[in-house]
A and B are shown apart, each in its own frame.
Chain A
């Protein structure tokens, strides 16, 4: 079964300097019980994708076409705000990129954790007990006495863990997480990955996971999609992408990972050039202005090349494998 299927999704923002195409023909699916990772350059549209799925696009943004099918029968692109809010409170849980924004600064953490259990029918005491158990799972020290504290009294990573605890308490069908581990130290990051894996096993949920930390994606996700300038340029299993990346952008991205450097270098590798202006997309392949392999065909015609099985790379020269990219 497929929990989420995004088909040909297009999203635009209207700005003073013109219309900006933030997502273009985005298609992918999240199967039941699977974790799908999303990676890509800052500004490539990952958060926009999540916001579109959740019906939380900014006022100047709109879904111009496409479908977002949830659990086989609901098109989230067409769902009204009330129904959407219902889903967000129940079957789809989210952990946002900015944990400070996810918590209400004027309510105690205990109160906020109680509030999200409003459907449970539990007594106040039992709700608090569940909150404490969950906080302990995400390794907040002294959870009992910390329920009365306010968000500003917690460190950055603690707030992130509280946000994760709150999302897990909902036992959702789909957990969407945008950079949920950036504020966590390496031991906690690994523990959080394990926690998400356990959760997936226990309650059978699917995870859509955004991260710039390629190591985390490699450890947690079964499948992944690589985005560039609002388009999915490559998708496949995590193994296929890390060991046999075919899109030049993916290859360059993996090569930039400092995890692959075993000692200090004078200059860190980067990808020359910048993201294209999304108000004026390049013709042909979207990566063509920065691609070493671009030829005449790349400048004129958008590419499409299945590699085999689930592995897809949108590149005219996707036959060039660099061999195992990981160290």
Chain B
């Protein structure tokens, strides 16, 4: 249980942006979408990644899967370094670390029937000698879709049904770590419960580990042992989920958790509202990068970069942590 399955150290990923004119004008032409991220994921555990839209969560997940080149840092998965591996060398890795993409319908090729979509992982990995129709039936049952859905095409599925097909594809082979980007977006609360119970079962039965990206904080609380909060490509706080929900230490985490909409029309919310101006990755703020929006900020926040500190079991970067 305590064995490290994945160890990511000081990972950096960047994109070139802007055309020739921007480069000639001497404007920054690279953004670091993932900017020095470190964490470990233990075998059999679930790690949730939350944070601002555009903060680099998907980029981080794609990089783990070798879909985006590493600029600096290391990714150690089952003891093997992944950065810099060729596509061919990554193939067996992807079988052990399948990824579910953010966009449910768009990530399924429109021309392939559900049957072909579910057979594809076997074909790609040279396992077409298996009884594919039995595998398809098994997978459909596993994700709670009727058998005759094998003959449907993606556009004939509702958003939730497409999502279940995505789960089925991800768990088709022999995964040890499922990287799931918004695995329950577009599902109603009951089906969402089913998918999460399914993922939890697979974790218990097959010792599956999960890295889950989600904006649904209720989901995080129900499924993740540990969580990290991202802001501008960095982890501003990481630790045990329950502890963070009970007492967030970083002001951004506190604002995020306070925003969670509740199913009660008469609820009076006590929200921490953040100023709307989201900083640009092209011009990162000085000092603590959250200081431009932080309700807690003092003068020093604009100047000094906060070093990571441990508070309780959490690690965070803030000069004036809350709830200490």
Known: A42-B160, A156-B102, A256-B193. A268 touches B265 (CB 8 A): no
Q: Does any Cβ of B come within 8 Å of A189's Cβ?
A: yes
Please give me the residue from chain B that is nearest to A271 by CB atom: B190
Given known contacts A42-B191, A182-B186, A270-B190, is B106 in contact with A218 (CB within 8 Å)? no
Q: Are B274 and A187 in contact (CB-based, < 8 A)?
A: yes
Chain A residue numbers with a CB within 8 Å of B190 are 41, 252-253, 256, 269-271
A214 & B189 in contact (Cβ 8 Å cutoff): yes
Q: Are B222 and A218 in contact (CB under 8 A)?
A: no
A-B contact count (CB 8 A): 212
Cβ–Cβ contact A219 & B265, under 8 A: yes
Contact assessment for B160 and A43 in the assembled complex, using a CB-CB cutoff below 8 Å = yes
* Pair A183/B53 contact, Cβ less than 8 Å: yes
Tell me the bound Cα distance from A156 to B219 in angstroms: 19
Contacts of A260 in B (CB 8 A): 263
Most buried by B among A156, A179, A188, A238: A156
A155 pairs with B54, CB closer than 8 A: yes
Contacts of A256 in B (CB 8 A): 188-190, 192-193
Name A193's closest neighbour in chain B (CB-CB).
Answer: B261
| A12-43, CB < 8 A from B | 13, 15-17, 39-43
User: Which A residues between 202 and 249 are near B, CB-CB below 8 angstroms?
Assistant: 212-219, 238-239, 242-243
For A301, what are the chain B residues with a Cβ–Cβ distance below 8 Å?
Answer: none
Q: How far is the CA of A190 from the CA of B197 in the complex (A)?
A: 28
Q: Which A residues are CB-close (under 8 A) to B189?
A: 212, 214, 253, 256-258
The range of chain A's interface size is 35 or more
Contacts of A155 in B (CB 8 A): 53-54, 58
B221 interface hit (Cβ, 8 Å): yes
**What are the interface flags for A100-134 relative to B under an 8 Å C-beta threshold, 1 for contact and 0 otherwise?**
11000000000000000000000000000000000
Chain B nearest CB from A273 CB (Å) reads 10
A304 interfacial contact with B, CB 8 Å: no
Of A188, A218, A254, the residue contacting B53 (CB under 8 A) is A188
Partner of A141, one of B187, B196, B222, B278: B278
A47 contacts chain B at the CB level, 8 A cutoff: yes
- Given the complex, which residues of A lie within 8 Å of B274, measured CB to CB? 187
* Secondary structure call for the B interface: loop
Whether A265 sits at the interface, judged by CB under 8 Å, is yes
| B260 interface hit (Cβ, 8 Å) | yes
Minimum C-beta distance from B301 to chain A (A):
19
Contacts of B260 in A (CB 8 A): 186, 215, 259
Contact, CB under 8 Å: A42 / B280: no
* B118 interface residue per 8 A CB criterion: no
Are A219 and B261 interface neighbours, CB within 8 A? Answer: yes
Given contacts A98-B106, A182-B185, A326-B263, contact A258 B219 (CB under 8 A): yes
Chain A residues near B259 (CB-CB < 8 A): 185-187, 189-190
Decide: B221 and A258 in contact? CB cutoff 8 A: yes
| A44 neighbours in B (Cβ, 8 Å) | 158
In the complex, per-residue mask of A56-69: 1 if CB is within 8 Å of any chain B CB, else 0 = 00101000000000
B window 89-146: CB within 8 A of A: 102-106, 144, 146
B52 and A258 contacting across the interface, CB-CB below 8 Å: no
Partner of A153, one of B15, B192, B217, B222: B15
Give Cα A100 to B200, complex, Å. 29
Bound-complex Cα distance A214 to B58 (A):
25
A258-303 interface with B by 8 A CB criterion:
258-261, 263-265, 267-271, 274, 277
Interface residue stretch chosen among B6-14, B34-42, B148-156, B302-310: B148-156
B185 touches A183 (CB 8 A): yes
**Whole-angstrom distance between the Cβ of B228 and the nearest chain A Cβ:** 14
Judge if B206 is at the interface, Cβ distance under 8 Å. Answer: no
Contacts of A149 in B (CB 8 A): 17
- Which listed residue (B58, B159, B191) contacts A156, Cβ 8 A? B58
Query: By the criterion CB–CB under 8 Å, are A187 and B161 in contact?
Result: no
Q: Is B88 an interface residue (CB 8 A)?
A: no
* B242 lies within 8 A of A141 (CB): no
Docked complex: B154-194 residues within 8 A CB-CB of A: 155-156, 158-161, 163, 181-182, 185-194
Cross-chain pairs A/B with CB under 8 angstroms, 11 sampled: A42-B163, A44-B158, A139-B278, A153-B17, A185-B256, A217-B263, A219-B265, A253-B188, A256-B190, A269-B193, A277-B146
Known: A58-B156, A185-B50. 12 other contacts (CB 8 A): A15-B152, A42-B188, A98-B159, A156-B181, A187-B274, A216-B261, A217-B263, A238-B265, A253-B188, A256-B189, A257-B189, A257-B218
Chain B contacts to A: CB under 8 angstroms:
15, 17-19, 22, 50-54, 58, 102-106, 144, 146, 148, 151-152, 155-156, 158-161, 163, 181-182, 185-194, 196-197, 200, 215-219, 221-222, 242, 255-257, 259-267, 271, 274, 276-282
- 8 tightest A-B CB contacts, nearest first: A42-B160, A157-B53, A215-B261, A268-B193, A326-B264, A258-B218, A186-B259, A43-B158
Chain A interfacial positions (CB closer than 8 Å to B): 13, 15-17, 39-44, 47, 58, 60, 97-98, 100-101, 136, 139-142, 145, 148-149, 153-158, 161, 179, 182-191, 193, 212-219, 238-239, 242-243, 252-254, 256-261, 263-265, 267-271, 274, 277, 326-327
